[in-house]
Amino acid sequence: MFLIGSTIALGGCVATGDFGRTRAEYQSDDMHRWVGVEATASVGVKASDFQLTDSERLLRDLAYPYIEPPRSRPYWKGVFGDYEPIPAPWRRKVVFDRTAYGRLLIDEPHRSHASRYAQLIEDVRNDITRFQPFYTTATQVFDFDAKRNASLRYISDLSPRERADAVARMRENSLIVEWVQQCTEQRISSYRWALERLVVHAPDGLAAEADRLIGQLAVLNANPPVVGPPVAGVTIQSKG
């Protein structure tokens, strides 16, 4: 039972190799380093070769739950391994489908429509709960980046490669926060579409609570505690 519980606890961050073993690359502290690499690659620039600081590593870990579309994987895949990098929204072929979450929520077997409302409420509440820890970390990262940027003019014998890596890391951190902001906006759109369909399919008093929480998340995302300098201006395609 302990082994099963441990496996489930790792959930969405597990990928399996031969004989069901978790692949070593997904057990490292830097398992979400790819988030920054993908963000920079998607806008045509090179990622930094610097090692991640503790706060930068935490920023990427906290970003991933927002970047992964809600309910994008069946539960059993989250348990037994289906961990893959996600393309950044600045890639031209990435199309956001705001109906996907709602269709999945409605089509999946549930005991009652009330459980669908409960699932929606839980997903929105989880996003609200994650908001402060993510932006607290982002604030810390940006504060350190401001110090890093200011120090570049004073450090003697700074090699061109070191300077390039420092600038690349600051760009990378900013892109990650922008990515989370865009994904949160997409989540809000998906949640609203799902709630509207649930109300049509099966009106319930729980709709008011879901609507309140979606509105709360929208206010939070519209007023983030910190905003990095804009790096990419590519418009995200939307479907639905």
For residue 37, the model assigns a pLDDT of 85
DSSP per position, 148-217:
HHHHTTT-TT--HHHHHHHHHHHHHHHHHHHHHHHHHHHHHHHHHHHHHHHHHHS--THHHHHHHHHHHH
H helices, E strands: number in the chain: 8, 2
The ranges assigned to domains in the chain are: 31-68+84-239
* pLDDT at residue number 50: 93
**For position 194, what pLDDT does the model report?**
96
> For position 211, what pLDDT does the model report?
98
Q: 178-213 burial, b for 16+ CB within 10 Å, e for fewer?
A: bbbbbbbbbbbbbbbbbbebbeeeeebebbebbbeb
Instruction: Name the strand (E) or helix (H) holding 239.
Output: strand 237-239
**The predicted structure's pLDDT at residue 85:** 67
Token representation of residue 99: 């109906």
CA angle 80–86–92, rounded 5-degree value: 150
Residue 2 pLDDT: 40
The pLDDT averaged over each successive group of 10 residues in the chain (240 residues) is 40 40 54 85 87 94 90 45 62 78 84 89 97 96 92 89 92 92 94 96 94 98 81 40
What pLDDT, on the 0 to 100 scale, is given for residue 230? 53
- List the structure tokens of 97: 């489908």
In 27-140, the DSSP E strands lie at 95-97
Cβ distance 117 to 198 under 8 Å? yes
Q: What is the pLDDT of residue 34?
A: 85
Using CA atoms, how far apart are residues 17 and 222, in angstroms rounded to an integer? 41
Q: What are 198's two structure tokens?
A: 């649930």
* pLDDT for position 70: 80
